[in-house]
Amino acid sequence: MDMTWRIFNPMVERSQTALLDDTYASLSHPVRREMVEILSEAPHRVTEVAAPFDISLAAASKHIQMLERAGLVERRISGRDHVLSLRAEPLEAAADWIDPYRRFWESKLDRLDEHFRRKG
């Protein structure tokens, strides 16, 4: 899996760790998890994503903005419709990071690389 993806938000290139922080923070709220679940089925309008919740549109918008900030959700504006869709890459990075075996080998191979650079 390609772990070199980056997003620009705006003008500032954010580190992988900061993106993971954003991913987990944005998935730490039940409303946002349900929004992600809705968008995992198909792209939806902002109003459709907000509709199932007993919260104001303004509150729903804040949740959506947090998902956008984490790069989990992308907004396309077509006329008066704001259409949201899910981006897979941050979820894939989060799933990779969470695998303890991957973390084990990533850290060992980092050290192998350092080992050769010290010797070199």
Q: What is the nearest approach in angstroms of other proteins to the Cβ of residue 41?
A: 6
| 84 closest CA partner among 27, 14, 35, 34 | 35
- The rounded distance, in Å, linking the Cα atoms of 59 and 63 is 7
Contacts to other proteins from residues 40-69, by CB under 8 A: 40-43
Helix axes 88-98, 100-119, angle to 10 degrees: 80
Contacts to other proteins from residues 86-105, by CB under 8 A: 86-88, 91-92, 94-95, 98-102, 105
**Binding to other proteins by residue 8, rule CB under 8 A?**
no
**Binding to other proteins by residue 29, rule CB under 8 A?**
no
